[in-house]
Amino acid sequence: MTSSLLLFQLLNGLQYGVMLSLLAAGLTLVFGIMNFINLSHGALYMMGAFVGATTYNVSGSFLFAIAAAVAATAAIGMLIERLVLWRLYSRDHLDQVLVTYGFILIFNEIARTVWGVAPYYMAVPEFFSGPIRFLGIVYPSYRLVIVSVGVAFAIALYLLIHKTRFGMLVRAGSQDAEIVGALGVNVRKLNSVIFALGAGLAGLAGVLAGPIVSVEPGMGENILILTFVVIVVGGIGSVRGAFLAAMIVGLLDTLGRAFALPLLTMFASAQVAAAAGPALASITIYIVMALVLAVRPEGLFPVKGR
Amino acid sequence: MSAPGIMQRFQYAVLPLAVLLAVGLPFYASFADKPFLVIFATRLLIYALAAVSLNLILGYGGMVSFGHAAYLSIGAYSVAIPSVSGIHDGLIHLLIAITASAAIGLVTGAIALRTKGVAFIMITLAFAQMIFFFIYSLKQYGGDDGLNIRVASRIAGVSLAGNQTQYWCALLALTAAAFGTHRLLQSNFGMVLRGIKSNEERMRALGFPTYRYKLAIYVVSCAICGVAGFLLANLTQFASPAYGTWMVSGELMLMVALGGPGTVGGPIAGAACILILEDILKRMTIHWMGVLGLLIAFLGIVMQRGLWARRTG
């Protein structure tokens, strides 16, 4: 295990964490403010990837692809929220799980029908297809692009939430949504905008992921589970918590998968390591979540005043 | 607690019909030479059994467990792994299924029940994922390819390989589970559970150790689901980690919610509905999953009352 390998995996973990934070931010807001479990968040990520990939393949412009993906998913999010999902805010979590589970099936079927079952190819944008050399490693520059875009949006989101009136309403809503309504704010409109914002972020994550993951129907479900882990570890409703927890989860998951086997072989026989290594790598992050929940059920960075 | 839904209103018609159907089906199937009917019905009964087990904690206890399907896979591998090692005795398989499911349920439940609401949902999901990945990593037992079961379980000399035998076993198991849960919930234990769902703090104030009650029913529920897994493995002659994914857990939750939680008949009605609906849709269109999604979403929004029992609150 060399230091350059460690650096490589750290950067991978960083990139994965940034991806997760884009997804987690939207999900935690919707959960924290509207008390709404949205299982179809992963499907929105998938739609972002498909729309972005298609736009890129048709237009050749990565910027255009990003814009299209974000706009499309925000629009889809606003649409389903206004038409259907707002009715579920006052219902119990089981109903919300059911309806959004139904939406997962619908979105997957749409993707299957429009784009087919096989993975849809999106090339790494030419400008970023080369590697970057620094600190003794050769790292794909596209992944650094993801990190930069993600960090840029994190800063933008922070500014939005802490420096604008809209952001103030969001923060107030995550503490006490009823009072916000009682103070005369159009809560329904606010909720729609928040939902659309979350959807747009999910779409952004999707289009960014397009070149490096397999764009196919059902791609949202795996990352959705980890996103839920992130928001639970970070504290529901807390955007700051979502970002920090996403970095932790992203790093732990990547480093766990990379180094579980070599680390185990240092402490145990090769046979045991070969048997337990892969399993341990996959479940590391769930063990961490279980520990956090057992010790601090409200999350690591909960919203104060909830 | 739960008011009668559409189906339960006609229970004096529906119940005898269901019994007639259940008992008469295998005879009709062999008469009309349609073995598929029996296989389909067995699968329906197995999932109904799993839904009944989930209903114990979800419907009666109010605990939304998103990882229940994991116990299906545990039950299935309780057949597959001994079978590979040459042990074909069904009673041993069953014993392993029940004890393994109960033991793992005890451990996971003990931790998960320290939390409530969303955290509980997530932690049950996490444990299910852990179990899934653990089975996935067992390369010597097939891993993600699954494990073929060449020889079915034998109970008291009777092999569980035949369609009819499997059907009657599943029917027996479901009837036993349904009757058992009905009796359990009429008992004092059941009263306490219902009280916990209604207002846990009040029960604690009355002096009941609610954690223990919840853990107990959780373990029972997992054990029953393990039995369903045992039956599933024999039906398909196959064990796979895919039996325990969260999508399957979601389907089980759907069956309970659709049927209306809090009664014995609810999950059975829900399971029957979902599986029959899936089958019909599959024959109608290639896009059956999308249509199913639409139906689920629609039903979830519109139906305040389940088919068998109305959901309260």
Amino acid at B288: W
Structure tokens at A52: 């972005």
Segment A137-187, tens digit of pLDDT: 888 888 888 999 888 988 898 889 889 999 898 888 877 878 888 988 888
Residue A24: per-residue pLDDT:
94
- Left, alpha or beta for B269 (phi > 0: left; psi -120 to 50: alpha)? alpha
Q: In terms of CA atoms, which chain B residue is nearest residue A106?
A: B290
Judged against a pLDDT cut of 90, whether residue B85 lies above it is answered with no
Q: Which two tokens stand for residue B260?
A: 């209306």
Give the 3-state secondary structure of residue A306. Answer: coil
- Judge contact between B239 and B73, C-beta under 8 A: yes
Q: What is the mean pLDDT of residues B53-75?
A: 89
What pLDDT, on a 0 to 100 scale, did the predictor assign at position A1?
A: 54
* Average pLDDT, integer, range B102-119: 87
Task: Identify the helix (H) or strand (E) that includes residue A27.
Answer: helix A3-34
The answer to whether A111 and A46 are in contact (CB under 8 A) is: yes
Distance CA B206, CA B62 (A): 19
Range in A26-30, A171-175, A215-219, B276-280 with the lowest mean pLDDT: A171-175
Band the pLDDT of B54: cuts 50, 70, 90. Answer: very high
Q: Please report the pLDDT score of residue A95 as a whole number.
A: 83
pLDDT band (50, 70, 90) for residue B126: confident
Joined tokens for residue B206: 């009355």
Mean pLDDT confidence for B129-139: 84
How distant, in Å, are the alpha carbons of A48, A146, A290, B68 from that of A210?
9, 11, 31, 33
Q: Which residue in the set B121, B126, B296 is minimally distant from A98, CB to CB?
A: B296
Alpha carbon distance, N-terminus to C-terminus of chain B: 9
Q: At residue B55, what is the residue type?
A: N
Per-residue pLDDT, A266 = 76
A215 phi and psi angles, rounded to 5 deg: -85, 105
* Single pTM value for the model: 0.86
pLDDT at residue B313 is higher than 50: no
Supply the mean pLDDT for chain A. 87
Dihedral sign for Cα atoms in the order B201, A175, A285, B144: positive
> Which chain A residue is nearest to residue B312, measuring alpha carbons?
A92
Highest mean pLDDT among A62-66, A292-296, B133-137, B256-260: A62-66
The pLDDT-based confidence of A131 (bands split at 50, 70, 90) is confident
Name the band, by pLDDT with cuts 50, 70 and 90, for residue B309. low
Q: How far apart are CA B237 and CA B46, in angstroms?
A: 14
- Beta B238-239 vs B147-148: how paired, if at all? antiparallel
Task: Write out chain A residues lying below 8 Å of B287, CB-based.
Answer: 109, 112-113
pLDDT at B308: 55
Query: Given pLDDT bands bounded at 50, 70 and 90, which one contains residue B1?
Result: very low
Lowest mean pLDDT among A6-15, A263-272, B123-132, B192-201: A263-272
Q: Which residue is it, tokens 């009668």?
A: B4
pLDDT at A200: 95
**Cβ-defined contact of B114 to A297 (cutoff 8 Å):** yes
**Token pair for residue A264?**
């185990």
Q: How far apart are CA A221 and CA A40, in angstroms?
A: 9
Q: How far apart are CA A1 and CA A265, in angstroms?
A: 12
CA distance B205 to chain A (A): 23
Chain-chain contact of A105 with B126 (C-beta, under 8 angstroms)? no
Q: What angle do CA B9, B269, B308 make, to 5 degrees?
A: 30
A182 to chain B, minimum CA–CA distance in Å? 24
Count how many pairs of residues, chain A against chain B, have C-beta atoms within 8 Å.
129
Contacts of residue B119 in chain A, CB cutoff 8 Å? Answer: 232, 293, 297
Which residue in chain A is spatially nearest to B127 when comparing CA positions?
Answer: A286
The span from the CA of A192 to the CA of A225, in Å, is: 24
Pairwise CA distance, residues B123 & A36, whole Å:
18
Pick the closest to residue A86 from A45, A41, A38 (CA basis). A38
Listed ranges A169-183, A263-277, B42-56; the one with the highest mean pLDDT? B42-56
A289 vs A56: CA distance, rounded Å? 37
**Measured between CB atoms, which of B119, B290, B296 is closest to A232?**
B119
Q: Which two tokens stand for residue B4?
A: 């009668």
Q: Is the pLDDT of residue B90 over 70?
A: yes
CA R_g for chain A = 20
- The residue ranges of DSSP E strands in A1-82, in sequence order, are none
Give the confidence band of A109 by pLDDT, cuts at 50, 70, 90.
Answer: very high
Q: Give A244→chain B minimum CA distance, Å.
A: 18
- What is the full DSSP assignment across chain B? ---B-HHHHTHHHHHHHHHHHHHHHHHHHHHHT-HHHHHHHHHHHHHHHHHHHHHHHHTTT----TTTTHHHHHHHHHHHHHHHTT--BHHHHHHHHHHHHHHHHHHHHHHHTTS-HHHHHHHHHHHHHHHHHHHHT-GGGTGGG-EE--S--EETTEETTSHHHHHHHHHHHHHHHHHHHHHHHHSHHHHHHHHHHH-HHHHHHTT--HHHHHHHHHHHHHHHHHHHHHHHHHHHTEE-GGGG-HHHHHHHHHHHHHH-TTSSHHHHHHHHHHHHHHHHHHHH-TTHHHHHHHHHHHHHHH-SB-SSBBPP-
Question: pLDDT tens digits, residue range B175-224?
Answer: 999 999 889 888 998 889 888 888 888 999 999 998 999 999 999 999 99
Nearest-CA distance from A125 to chain B in Å? Answer: 33
Q: Is the pLDDT of residue B156 over 70?
A: no
- Output the pLDDT for position A178: 83
Closest CA to B57 of B140, B124, B2, B139: B124
Is the minimum CB–CB distance between B136 and chain A shorter than 8 Å?
yes
Q: Answer yes or no: is pLDDT of B307 > 60.
A: no
Task: With a cut of 90, say whether residue A55 has pLDDT above it.
Answer: yes
Q: Residues in chain A, how many?
A: 306
| pLDDT, greater one: B246 or B69 | B69
> What is the pLDDT, as a whole number, of residue A305?
59
Residues B7 and B265: beta-carbon distance below 8 Å = yes
**pLDDT higher than 90, residue B311:** no
Q: Do B300 and A102 touch (CB under 8 A)?
A: yes
The token pair at A276 is 């337990």
What is the C-alpha to C-alpha distance for residues B289 and A16, in angstroms, rounded to an integer?
30
For CA atoms A165, A166, A170, A172, the dihedral sign is positive
From CA A147, how far away is CA A12, in angstroms rounded? Answer: 9
Residues of A with CB below 8 A from B134's CB?
Answer: 279, 283
Residues 6+ apart with CB under 8 A from B130: A283, A286, A287
Q: Please tell me the predicted confidence (pLDDT) of residue A294.
A: 76
- The span from the CA of B17 to the CA of B296, in Å, is 26
Residue to test with chain A: of B137, B255, B273, B291, most A Cβ within 10 A: B137
- Res B261: pLDDT: 76
Q: What is the pLDDT of residue B6?
A: 62
What residues contact A54, with CB distance under 8 A and at least 6 apart?
A115, A120
pLDDT of residue B304: 62
Confidence of residue B3 (pLDDT cuts 50, 70, 90): low
Residue A230 to residue A245: CA distance in whole angstroms: 5
> Residue holding tokens 């970023």?
A128
